[in-house]
Amino acid sequence: MQPLPHSPAADRNKQPILDVLRTVLPARGIALEIASGTGRHAAWFAAALPGWTWQPTDADADALPAIAAWTSQSGATNVRAPVLLDVMAPQWPSQGAAFTERFDAIYCANMLHISPWETCAALMQGSARHLAPQGVLITYGPYLEDGVTTSPGNASFDASLRQRNPSWGVRRIEDVTQEAQRAGLTLRARHEMPANNLLLVFGRAA
């Protein structure tokens, strides 16, 4: 049996993120995960939050089998089969019938800085379409902030990302918030996380 795809970063941050999710989310609901990657977060969160049903997705079809395998290994029964979803596509998911239900939470970790800036607007617009009235969009990752000194690690990471792909880079929280506002979402909470990351919580504007 081949080992499952492994993300050291996902293993490091899964518990700190879960600790915040426990304070942000109600006892039960349905969550849509954008850019599930290896599927480590989906399996971990679903196993720890039995009142939640988790729908993992990824834009890379090759990632879906690994997501399903992590879910199977975790033993969690509240995770749906992963589906193909590119936030830039006009329909979510990208194949098959569009989602008809509204999600109580949409979760997206470490996507905005390793994809073109246009994905931010697409994430916000898509989330506004698919969130339940009281639902929240939760994003996690490194951010730059006006008036806050950028850590040497994040500055170096930003430079390395832009060298790899000029359309990538650590995003300004103010720019992300502006895109959210254009979609009718507002920043409700900012949580400082280990390794100079932030967890942001957005909800529908009043």
Where residue 134 sits, what CATH number does that domain have?
A: 3.40.50.150
Residue 9 within a domain: no
Residue 196 within a domain: no
pLDDT at 1: 46
Residue 2 within a domain: no
Structurally, how many domains does the chain consist of?
1
Residue 192 within a domain: no
Residue 74 parent element (H or E): helix 64-74
Residue 206 within a domain: no
Report whether 130 contacts 137 (CB < 8 A). Answer: no
pLDDT at 9: 74
pLDDT at 205: 83
Residue 7 within a domain: no
pLDDT in tens, 31-57: 999 999 999 899 999 999 999 999 999
pLDDT at 75: 83
| Alpha carbons 137 and 45: distance in angstroms, whole number | 16
pLDDT at 119: 98
Residue 144 — φ and ψ, nearest 5°? -95, 145
pLDDT at 3: 62
pLDDT at 76: 84
Residue 205 within a domain: no
Any long-range contacts for 184-191 (C-beta under 8 Å, 24+ apart)? 184/128, 185/124, 185/127, 185/128, 185/137, 188/136, 189/24, 191/20
pLDDT at 2: 54
Residues 6 or more apart from 5 whose CB is under 8 A from it? 38, 63, 66
Residues lower than pLDDT 50 in the chain: 1
| Alpha carbons 180 and 120: distance in angstroms, whole number | 8
Range of the domain at 181: 18-186
Residue 126 — φ and ψ, nearest 5°? -65, -40
Residue 138 parent element (H or E): strand 131-141
| Alpha carbons 24 and 189: distance in angstroms, whole number | 9
The residue assigned the tokens 């293993």 is 11
Other Cβ atoms closer than 10 A to 174: 13
pLDDT at 11: 76
Residue 198 within a domain: no
Task: Give the distance from CA 40 to its chain's centroid.
Answer: 12
pLDDT at 200: 98
